[in-house]
Amino acid sequence: MLVKNKKILNMIWSVLRAVFIIGFAFVILYPVMTMISKAFMESRDLYDSSVLWIPKNWTMQNMRFSAEKMEFTTSLGRSIMFTLSGTVMQTFICMMAGYAFARYYFPMKGILFSFVILSILVPPQQILTPLYLHLIDFDLFGIFTALKGSGLNLTSTYVPFFLVSLTGFGLRNGLFIFLFRQFFRGIPKETEEAALVDGAGSTRIFLQIMLPAATTMIVTVLLFSFVWQWNDMDYSAILLPNERMLPQSFEIFNAYIKEFRMSTSGSMEKLIQYDLTDYKVLAMMRSAGVLLVMFPLMIVYLIAQRFFVESIDRSGLVG
Is the pLDDT at 274 greater than 70, yes or no?
no
- Cα distance between residue 40 and residue 52, in whole Å: 13
Residue-level pLDDT at 95: 92
Q: 3-state class of 170 per DSSP?
A: coil
Is the Cβ–Cβ distance between 172 and 224 less than 8 Å? yes
Q: Pick the more confident residue, 311 or 147.
A: 147
Residue-level pLDDT at 310: 61
Residue-level pLDDT at 317: 44
Each residue's pLDDT tens digit, 129-163: 888 888 888 887 777 777 777 777 887 778 888 88
Is the Cβ–Cβ distance between 282 and 257 less than 8 Å? yes
Please name which of 43, 103, 7 lies closest in space to residue 279, comparing C-alpha atoms: 43
Residue-level pLDDT at 277: 59
Average pLDDT, the chain: 80
Please name which of 289, 310, 290, 308 lies closest in space to residue 300, comparing C-alpha atoms: 308
Q: Which of 82-96, 121-135, 147-161, 298-312 has the lowest mean pLDDT?
A: 298-312
Residue-level pLDDT at 304: 73
Contacts of 177 (CB under 8 A, 6+ apart): 94, 97, 98, 101, 116, 168
At 107, phi and psi to the nearest 5?
-60, 140
Give the model's confidence band at 101: pLDDT under 50 very low, under 70 low, under 90 confident, else very high: very high
Each residue's pLDDT tens digit, 198-223: 787 888 888 888 888 888 888 888 88
Q: 3-state class of 152 per DSSP?
A: strand
DSSP string across 226-256: HHHHHH--HHHHHH-TT---HHHHHHHHHHH
At 313, phi and psi to the nearest 5?
-85, -15
- pLDDT average, residue stretch 34-63: 80
- pLDDT average, residue stretch 182-200: 83
The residue count for the chain:
319
Is the pLDDT at 15 greater than 60, yes or no?
yes
Is the Cβ–Cβ distance between 267 and 279 less than 8 Å? no
Is the Cβ–Cβ distance between 288 and 282 less than 8 Å? no
CA–CA distances in Å: residue 75 to residues 158, 181, 252: 16, 35, 12
- pLDDT average, residue stretch 5-33: 84
Residue-level pLDDT at 312: 54
Residue-level pLDDT at 316: 43
Is the Cβ–Cβ distance between 136 and 221 less than 8 Å? no
- pLDDT average, residue stretch 250-266: 65
Q: Pick the more confident residue, 10 or 275.
A: 10
For the chain, give the percent of residues with pLDDT over 90.
5
For the chain, give the percent of residues with pLDDT over 70.
88
Give the model's confidence band at 94: pLDDT under 50 very low, under 70 low, under 90 confident, else very high: very high
